[in-house]
Amino acid sequence: MPQTDDSFLKILKDLDNYHKSFLYKQPNTTSLWSDEDTEGNYVQGGRGKWRMTNHLNQERDWEKISYSYNDDGLRGPKPDVNAKKKIIFAGNCVFFGHGVNVEDSFPHIYSKKIGASYINISESRIFTDMIEDIDRISKWFKPDKIVFSSCRFFDASSFIELHMRLRFNKLFYKDKEQRSLIRNELRGRIKKSHFTHMTYIFEYLKNKYKCPIVYIHQKDFNPFTYEGINIININEDLMVDLGRDNKHPGPQSHNLIANEIYKLQPE
């Protein structure tokens, strides 16, 4: 019987710790800054630093923002397991609300609009781990709605892709054409694989939870649809202001995103 490579187990453990270090903070604590919202990022008049916000300039002289974490080490109020309406949000940095107060983040705005309690499993960095988090928390929270998005990395293959791209960049650093061909081929194969996996995940969530599911799509992929899943395609049109970090969307943008969800799920 073949033995498992210890180095592979270490990679899996490191990935798990990487995911948890971004997702779960010290319970019942408050800080003025976050992982991506730092004093060095904010420059009044500066340009947006992200693909979705680089058409914006920082127009606001920000007051201090606090990041408070509940009993579970997650951002947001303490969830009410007895609430009539309950939502799980699970996603990336936009879901977390870098650069804005929690009251100005779209998970909070939308939940308040429909009178629901919520848990925000963000900022998730690894998509497959995030699905496990949804399953684990759903056992006791029993959500009536799930709103989720992609993460920075889909699974271990995303790390492999990044590693190989960096290697090829060094190998063909003088040959830009060859470097571009390899990069596009590699990214194309990974994206195709991820789309296939996403269909299984959509089908799994739809059949397991039997509740409204909203997927917020904000990647460099073409807009797509999937039967039984409410999909919102976030684009630059919904990014109208910057958060304090000069990268992520500001309060007005979060309000627009919350309204897009409300159009699909008004109750």
Q: Is 81 helix (H, G, I), strand (E, B) or coil?
A: coil
Q: How many CA atoms lie within 13 A of 84 on its CB side?
A: 4
Beta pairing, strands 145-149 & 86-90: parallel
| pLDDT band per the 50, 70, 90 thresholds, residue 19 | confident
Least Cα distance to 96 among 131, 69, 116, 78 occurs for 69
pLDDT of the residue at 256: 97
Given CATH 3.40.50.1820, say whether it is the number of domain 6-264: no
Mark out the alpha helices in 80-235 (DSSP H runs): 93-96, 106-114, 127-141, 156-171, 176-209
Residues in CB range of 245: below 8 A, 6 or more apart? 36, 37, 38, 41, 42, 49, 98, 99
Asked if residue 74 has pLDDT above 90, the reply is yes
Q: Which long-range contacts (CB under 8 A, 24 or more apart) does 4-9 make?
A: none
| Amino acid identity, position 262 | Y
Asked if residue 156 has pLDDT above 70, the reply is no
Q: Is 229 helix (H, G, I), strand (E, B) or coil?
A: strand
Least Cα distance to 48 among 218, 247, 236, 239 occurs for 247
Mark out the alpha helices in the chain (DSSP H runs): 6-23, 93-96, 106-114, 127-141, 156-171, 176-209, 251-264
| pLDDT band per the 50, 70, 90 thresholds, residue 48 | very high
What tens digit of pLDDT does each residue of 223-266 get?
Answer: 567 888 999 988 888 999 999 999 999 999 999 999 999 999 99
- Say if residue 168 is exposed, middle or buried (CB neighbours under 10 Å; 0-12, 13-18, 19+): middle
| pLDDT band per the 50, 70, 90 thresholds, residue 2 | very low
**Would you say the C-alpha torsion 252, 33, 218, 165 has a positive or negative sign?**
positive
Q: Which residue has better confidence, 203 or 180? A: 203
Domain locations along the chain: 6-264
| Confidence (pTM) | 0.86
| pLDDT band per the 50, 70, 90 thresholds, residue 1 | very low
Q: What is the average pLDDT across 114-121?
A: 97
pLDDT of the residue at 21: 80
pLDDT of the residue at 143: 97
Asked if residue 43 has pLDDT above 70, the reply is yes
Q: 136-140, 184-188, 258-262 — which is least confidently predicted?
A: 184-188
